[in-house]
Structure 1
Amino acid sequence: MTQTRSARPWYRRMTGRRRDEPHRTATPLELFFDLCFVVAVAQAADSLHHALSEGHLDLAVGRYLMVFFAIWWAWMNFTWFASAYDTDDDVYRITTFVEIAGALILASGVPRAFTEGDFATITFGYVVMRLATIVQWVRAAAGDPDHRRAALRYAGGVFVVQVGWLLRLTLPDSWLAASFLVLALAEVLVPAVAERPGMTPWHPRHIVERYGLFTLIVLGEVVLVTSLAIQTGLDAGDRHLWSLAAAGTVIVFALWWLYFDRPAAVSNRLRHALFWGYGHYLIFASIGAVGAGLAVEVDHERDDSHVSGLTAGYAVAVPVAVYVVTLWALHVRRRQHRWLTAACLGTAALVLLVPLGPAPVHLVAVLLFCLVAVTVLARRLSTSPDATDPGPTASDGGGPVEAE
């Protein structure tokens, strides 16, 4: 008879889960983890909006990319670890709560990072999250001998990099950008090195679901901005804001459709898994920036910003173009549809040109609508899905792992 959770010990031996486990879905704790990260995503997008509206373009973009890296990287590491070692015992839950607390600390420091360039609070919150991750990896090393070397490499690598983040706070301001790039590179190299002895037993379909859920979270920020634009138009009696809100709605619908048009898949090969997992940084960050760009466009229409119409237009166009190109690289390219590839890259190029003309947000909405139509047509004309669209395969769900 299966033992109920109430009868389980307060801790369990942390062994790896099966890669071919059926019905592996997101747990309530994972969903709660995502919910708490909404705060950090909202703070980053809102701070980007205000910095862009005030005309601080260089600082806004640079600080947004740094802040969003911290949010994304902490979320991503928890997600892949939980996919492999979610024991759901009390120790695991408490450790996860510590990670959530670190995310809330990080979120509280986002406004100061944008306005004053002070990353101390963000760093402390980030280190709290990552130190909790070390505890998780040490437990995995003790409970899963088959992947002990990988778990210890993770624990050691994460610890060394966290020391680097704390030391970075003592550096002069002129070194902060360069030191961030070095430490961010060190962070992304940890999984690449740690997984070499033998990849940890993360679940491919579970990973795809988790990434889809985080995509929905960031899209929710764009929905919120669009809703506020509608409210602003209603309060001000400005009909143009109504049309702007409608265009923003089409944009967010199109972003959703393009991402979820077909089931995604992540390969068991290490190089491909890293490319797919890391590439989503641009997916998530660009969606959040689209929301901030729409808010800048609303400010410009109401004469509440310090930027030109061209700049406001590019605040939407640039992240949309980045999103389309990245989505092509991660999801579309392997389907080998040449004309769909041409449609994606051509749309991205045209999106970058529309701010030079009138009504850029409306034109971006039209271009994305056309791209969705082409995507749907490509799917319907695919008479041999196995040949033209690899999609999720049996090997993606639980086949042998290849560490390149």
Structure 2
Amino acid sequence: MSTAPDPYRPVRRMRARDRRESHRVSTPLELFFDLCFVVAIAQAGRELAHALAEGHYAAALTGYATAFFAVWWAWMNFTWFASAYDVDDVPYRLTTLVQITGVLVLAAGVPRIFEDRDLVLGVAGYVLMRLAMVTQWLRAARGESGPARTCALRYAVGISVVQVFWVVLLFLPHGTQGPLFPLGVLVELAVPVWAEKDNQTPWHRHHIVERYGLFTIIVLGETVAAATVAVQAALDEHRAVAELLPIAAGGLLICFGAWWIYFADDSHDHLRDNRQALPWGYGHYLVFASAAAVGAGLEVAAEHAVGTAHLSARAASAAVTIPTALFLVTVWALHSRHHKRGAAQAVLPLAALSVLAATLAGESAVLIAGLLVALAVATGLILSAKRS
């Protein structure tokens, strides 16, 4: 029997939903949540592109990893919580809107993270999102009993403690913030492991796979949009059609191929408990981050093609080929290797290595990388057809 929430009840008791619930799909609120989070991802991608184009590689990678972790972790925590406890009543909706407000504040602070390593606005937005999540877990604890209640309270306590750490970090000298930041990340990642060690929250595996898939689509869409704007701006200012056309073609092939490869296999059969779900969910940091970074790399490649980027041709190409290869390897590790047999297992790892090698082609690298991704898709289809 379905335990879907009744949207006409303004306040409901928050109890766990049935893991066997049929026809469980993403709600309009969840989709709105995703779209607002992509605002922060777009900001991080733009700042990454600008920093790379200026040749500030260390600042680019550090700033991007920092900003993207904050966005991804807040999104991931809400997604798994909603899969287990979404009651879709007025308090739930209002609390979720507070989280959306937090990500918009974080998005406004992303440029400061890159330019001045100023974490104040970013941390303020992040803490706002996370404290809203604490109220959700406390509400879940009121509606539960036994191990489920203990699990919810552990989440509330663990998240709260880490937020204190982030606030304290703001008052420390800049020289100590960088080394201490990974410690905060590790503690954040450890909270779900600790909270669920005696009780697994009843997330719905079909719902989770759909949520991750939809967010992947949105991130890839933002990548296409960012690359389109970059190519259009370069054309308007420099009319360099011959230089930009290979980048546009290669970028489209990469994005189309990334979509095809991600959705070639269904992961819900693999997600049966937390032993599979935690690595799968955590691993998507690299899937989302690399997909968004491809868009930033295409911006850098377009700027280099018209002579406005301060880096070499190989460095500009690497801004595209490295995240593309990372995407291919991560999707293989999380999805494809559980479904492929025989020679098909080697397609994506070999494609990733080939894409990395294409970096040496310099200005032609983006187009070659796109063709290699398309070849990987075609090879996978041929091998699947032979096996069937």
Same fold? TM cut 0.5? yes
Paired with 2:57 and 2:293, the residues of 1 have a C-alpha distance of: 13
Equivalent residue, structure 1, for 2:121 = 121
Paired with 1:30 and 1:105, the residues of 2 have a C-alpha distance of: 19
Asked if residue 73 in structure 1 is aligned to residue 68 in structure 2, the reply is: no
Paired with 1:189 and 1:233, the residues of 2 have a C-alpha distance of: 44
Equivalent residue, structure 2, for 1:95 = 95
SS in 2 for 1:256: helix
Equivalent residue, structure 2, for 1:311 = 315
Paired with 1:24 and 1:4, the residues of 2 have a C-alpha distance of: 14
Equivalent residue, structure 1, for 2:239 = 237
Deviation of 1:38 (Å): 1.6
Deviation of 1:366 (Å): 1.1
Greater shift in the superposed pair: 363-372 or 257-266: 257-266
Amino acid at match of 1:82: A
Paired with 2:185 and 2:77, the residues of 1 have a C-alpha distance of: 13
Deviation of 1:204 (Å): 0.3
Amino acid at match of 1:258: I
1:327-346 equivalences under 5 Å are: 327-346=331-350
SS in 1 for 2:203: coil
Instruction: Describe the superposition over 1:247-283 as per-residue Cα deviations: whole angstroms up to 9, x where unpaired.
Output: 1111110011100112222412212100000000000
Instruction: Describe the superposition over 1:114-133 as per-residue Cα deviations: whole angstroms up to 9, x where unpaired.
Output: 11110110001000000000
Unaligned runs of 5+ in 1: 384-404
Amino acid at match of 1:263: D
Deviation of 1:22 (Å): 0.4
Paired with 2:386 and 2:154, the residues of 1 have a C-alpha distance of: 47
Paired with 1:230 and 1:318, the residues of 2 have a C-alpha distance of: 20
Instruction: Describe the superposition over 1:101-122 as per-residue Cα deviations: whole angstroms up to 9, x where unpaired.
Output: 1010000000111111101100
Equivalent residue, structure 2, for 1:354 = 358
Greater shift in the superposed pair: 108-117 or 347-356: 347-356
Paired with 1:207 and 1:249, the residues of 2 have a C-alpha distance of: 28
Deviation of 1:343 (Å): 1.8
Paired with 1:381 and 1:145, the residues of 2 have a C-alpha distance of: 53
Asked if residue 219 in structure 1 is aligned to residue 224 in structure 2, the reply is: no
Deviation of 1:230 (Å): 4.4
Greater shift in the superposed pair: 17-26 or 329-338: 329-338
Equivalent residue, structure 1, for 2:156 = 155
Q: Aligned-pair RMSD on alpha carbons?
A: 1.5
Instruction: Describe the superposition over 1:212-268 as per-residue Cα deviations: whole angstroms up to 9, x where unpaired.
Output: 011011101211123224424653432221232111111110011100112222412
Q: Is the 8 A contact 2:300 2:316 kept in 1?
A: yes
What is the aligned residue count? 380
Deviation of 1:380 (Å): 2.1
Q: Is the 8 A contact 2:53 2:303 kept in 1?
A: yes
Greater shift in the superposed pair: 164-173 or 22-31: 164-173
Q: Is the 8 A contact 2:294 2:324 kept in 1?
A: yes
Equivalent residue, structure 2, for 1:143 = 143
Paired with 2:24 and 2:165, the residues of 1 have a C-alpha distance of: 36
TM-score normalized by structure 1? 0.91
Paired with 1:22 and 1:300, the residues of 2 have a C-alpha distance of: 51
Amino acid at match of 1:367: L
Deviation of 1:347 (Å): 1.3
SS in 1 for 2:311: coil
Deviation of 1:378 (Å): 2.9
SS in 2 for 1:306: coil
* CA pair 78-111 structure 1, distance change in 2 beyond 3 A: same
Amino acid at match of 2:47: S
Amino acid at match of 1:368: V
Report the identity percentage.
48
Paired with 2:103 and 2:74, the residues of 1 have a C-alpha distance of: 8
SS in 1 for 2:55: coil
Amino acid at match of 2:291: I
Paired with 2:102 and 2:68, the residues of 1 have a C-alpha distance of: 15
1:9-158 equivalences under 5 Å are: 10-146=10-146, 147-158=148-159
Amino acid at match of 2:257: A
